[in-house]
Amino acid sequence: MSQGLKTINADQTLKEALDKMVKENIRRLAVSVAGQVIGVISARTIVKEALSNPNWAQKKVSEVTRPGIFADPDTPNKIGAKLMVKYGVGSLLIRGGGIVTERDIAKAAPRTTIPAISIGTTNVVTLSDSSTMSDAASLMVSTGISHAPIVSDTDVVGMVSLRDVIKSLNDGNLSANVKDYMSKGVVSLDVDATMADVANLITTKNVGSVLIMEDLSTKASNLRGIVTEWDLVRTYSTLTKAHVLLKVDPSKIRSIASALVVTPRISGVSIVYGPYDIVVDMDVESPEALGKVVVDSIGSMAGVKETLTLIEVEEL
């Protein structure tokens, strides 16, 4: 949780809100009336107003404030993720002061071996290096994304984010080329990366997205996907832990157990003695995905005779 809650008065203008966001390097402000926090204003809302209203800068914050979603300080991270996804918000206001953002939740997401490519976007929207910040702003408002890779000739050369857009807007410079504001270089992982790898990179690099590249190449043709902090929040909100009991051919117990240890989504493998031969601990993206994952990754193994899946029910 971010302890220092940044606020703005509902009677102030959108330009004042934008100034504060850029100065504090944040994308959201809590909105207050007479010292009482009543909602949130986001960078995306301001950018949307700026694109559609020539007089956006003088508009009052109160006119575009979104009601805040409040949570108690002891709310578990996973419940926080569920609230964000349910209400489609990127932050939760904490009673007593403070705010939890999607990046906070992303950093707290479990370090599972779920393949990163399975939780991200594979149809990645890019911008060319001849694009303007206005192009980037329009793209982000129309598609709901917050990050777009920048392609020059055949290479991915950088990333432009919603934070970059509000900086250019605050400078009165949406006509600038994206190269003037983008983050140069590529923060990426290869196609074998896991959800844990992405969460660790977002934490250490303090970035909002990670590109999935074939062989960590910078070639645009090798761009396979993008995983954002919101993808981690969304996946965390539906993450399911299961235990899969296996009956297997006695001669293949140890070889199957060895193969399972390196299988994606599996966090634990134990050989047991009883009605079943092996117990597998597994993390999957959602209950709906569980059956297919079990069939594809475990049930199809040669020597597996039967599977029984037990789903852990979380206490809400």
From residue 70, alpha-carbon distances to 89, 171, 287 in Å are 11, 33, 27
> How are strands ordered across the β-sheet holding 188-190?
188-190, 209-213, 223-228
pLDDT of residue 215: 86
Give the pLDDT confidence score for residue 256 in this predicted structure: 97
Q: Which residues pair with 68 in a beta bridge?
A: none
Write the single-letter amino acid at 18.
Answer: L
**Nearby residues of 304 by Cβ (< 8 Å), 6 or more positions away:** 246, 247, 248, 256, 298
Q: Which two tokens stand for residue 118?
A: 């399975």
pLDDT of residue 316: 40
Homologous superfamily (CATH) for 7-103: CBS-domain (3.10.580.10)
What is the per-residue pLDDT for 2?
A: 53
Cβ atoms 99, 92 nearer than 8 A: yes
Second CATH level (architecture) for the domain 116-236 = Roll (3.10)
Q: Are 147 and 207 contacting, i.e. CB atoms less than 8 angstroms apart? A: no
Cβ-contact 57, 81 below 8 angstroms: no
CATH class of 239-311: alpha beta
Mark the ranges of the chain whose per-residue pLDDT is less than 50: 1, 315-316
pLDDT at 183: 95
Instruction: List where CATH 3.30.70.920 sits in the chain.
Output: 239-311
Residues of the chain within CATH 3.10.580.10 domain(s) are 7-103, 116-236
Q: What angle do CA 290, 295, 299 make, to 5 degrees?
A: 130
pLDDT per residue over 220-271, tens digit each?
999 999 999 999 999 999 999 999 999 999 999 999 999 999 999 999 999 9
Q: In the prediction, which pLDDT does 135 show?
A: 98
Label residue 99 exposed, middle or buried (CB < 10 Å: 0-12, 13-18, 19+).
buried
